[in-house]
């Protein structure tokens, strides 16, 4: 078994949600790809995917292995390029687009370390909550959360984020913690108008699905604004993991109905050029090594 080929197949299968497309990209037949993944699982002594007739999802071991495999491939590709004399240091200005919340929570904190590693690079961030057009805005690389609509662009699915129900400890002390989704009807809730499914929250515990129609006394179109309102104790919010997990860890927010969550939020990288530019690939690979709270 070629270990690097197995890692590449595993990473692409995880990113695309299926073995078939990953196999085609690597010029493998479906049976050959399945055998290669099976050999990797045997070597690691753990199942990396939970397989069903309709889906391919990462196991707990798979989530752990994914970050390590990506790191190995980044190192291997860098070594190969250097030996072949192709390791030209990425240079120049890179324009990166994302929502305000994702940019501030995930991208901005990685910037100083990246620029230390690539001192000839410059970064310009285009952060807006409304839909960004990479072509019109002359953006090299866009991080987009949610469904894709623009077929003009090349898209690469990076991961999915869970959506968590959260509230401040002060709010729960005042009104009590909900014990079932229907209890949210009696709780102050925050209406994040950028969710994409309005005031009806579809929640699941992995076995059952319930839709709760919230009152949403206070609303905002920005995830960061909703987060600020939740921190002030104004209501229960449904927000992505990358935004709330650090605040849950430090006790400023508490998970409400921790067994229940909203629909996963896909994250894609988009670019308009036929090939991802070297400087954009350097930034994307760097960001992927530290994406927080992903599934």
294 domain residue, yes or no: no
Q: How many domains does the chain have?
A: 3
Burial 77-94 (b: 16+ CB within 10 A, else e): eeeeeeeeeeeeebeeeb
Convert the pLDDT of each residue in 42-83 to its tens digit.
Answer: 898 999 888 776 677 888 898 888 888 888 887 776 666 555
Considering 62, 83, 104, which residue would you say is the last residue of a domain? 83
Q: Do residue 104 and residue 247 come from a single domain?
A: no
User: Would the pTM count as exceeding 0.75?
Assistant: no
Q: Please answer whether residues 240 and 163 qualify as being in contact, where contact means their C-beta atoms are separated by less than 8 angstroms.
A: yes
- pLDDT value of position 237: 94
Spell out where 174-247 has E strands: 190-192, 200-204, 209-213, 218-220, 237-240
Inside any domain, residue 124: yes
Main-chain dihedrals φ then ψ at residue 219, nearest 5 degrees: -135, 160
Closest to 158 measured CA to CA, from 193, 206, 195, 107:
107
According to the model, what pLDDT value does residue 86 have?
45
In a domain, 179, yes or no: yes
Classify residue 207 as exposed, middle or buried by CB count within 10 Å of its CB (0-12, 13-18, 19+): exposed
Distance of alpha carbon 142 from its chain centroid, rounded?
A: 13
Is there a single domain that holds both residue 169 and residue 254? yes
Note the pLDDT of residue 255.
Answer: 96
**Tens-digit pLDDT profile for residues 220-265:** 888 899 999 999 999 999 999 999 999 999 999 999 999 999 999 9
pLDDT in tens, 93-120: 999 999 999 999 999 999 999 999 999 9
* 218-220/190-192 β-pairing: parallel
CATH number, domain with residue 281:
3.40.190.10
Beta bridge partners, 93, equal: 122
Q: How many DSSP H helices and E strands does the chain contain?
A: 10, 13
Q: What is the pLDDT of residues 24-45, one digit of tens each?
A: 878 888 888 888 988 988 898 9
pLDDT in tens, 163-207: 999 999 999 999 999 999 999 988 899 988 877 777 889 999 989
Among the listed residues 131, 128, 141, the one whose alpha carbon sits nearest the alpha carbon of residue 96: 141
């Amino acid at each position: 078994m070629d270990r690097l080929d197995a890692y590449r197949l595993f990473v692409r299968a995880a990113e695309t949600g299926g073995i078939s497309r990953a196999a085609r990209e690597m010029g493998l037949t479906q049976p050959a790809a399945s055998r290669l993944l099976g050999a990797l699982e045997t070597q690691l002594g753990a199942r990396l995917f939970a397989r069903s007739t309709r889906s391919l999802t990462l196991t707990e071991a798979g989530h752990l292995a994914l970050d390590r495999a990506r790191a190995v491939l980044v190192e291997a590709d860098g070594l190969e390029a250097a030996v072949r004399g192709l390791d030209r240091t990425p240079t120049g200005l890179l324009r990166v687009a994302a929502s305000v919340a994702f940019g501030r929570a995930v991208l901005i904190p990685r910037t100083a370390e990246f620029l230390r590693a690539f001192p000839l690079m410059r970064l310009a961030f285009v952060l807006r909550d409304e839909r960004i057009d990479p072509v019109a805005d002359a953006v090299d690389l866009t991080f987009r959360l949610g469904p894709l609509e623009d077929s003009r662009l090349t898209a690469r699915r990076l991961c999915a984020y869970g959506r968590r129900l959260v509230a401040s400890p002060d709010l729960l002390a005042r009104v009590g913690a909900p014990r079932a989704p229907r209890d949210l009807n009696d709780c102050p809730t925050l209406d994040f108008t950028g969710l994409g499914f309005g005031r009806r929250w579809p929640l699941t515990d992995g076995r059952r699905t319930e839709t709760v129609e919230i009152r949403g006394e206070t609303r905002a179109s920005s995830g960061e604004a909703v987060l600020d309102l939740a921190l002030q104790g104004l209501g229960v919010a449904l927000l992505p993991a990358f935004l709330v997990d650090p605040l849950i860890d430090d006790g400023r927010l508490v998970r409400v109905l921790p067994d229940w969550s909203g629909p996963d939020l896909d994250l894609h990288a988009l670019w308009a050029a036929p090939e991802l530019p070297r400087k954009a690939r350097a930034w994307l690979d760097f960001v992927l090594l530290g994406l927080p709270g992903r599934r």
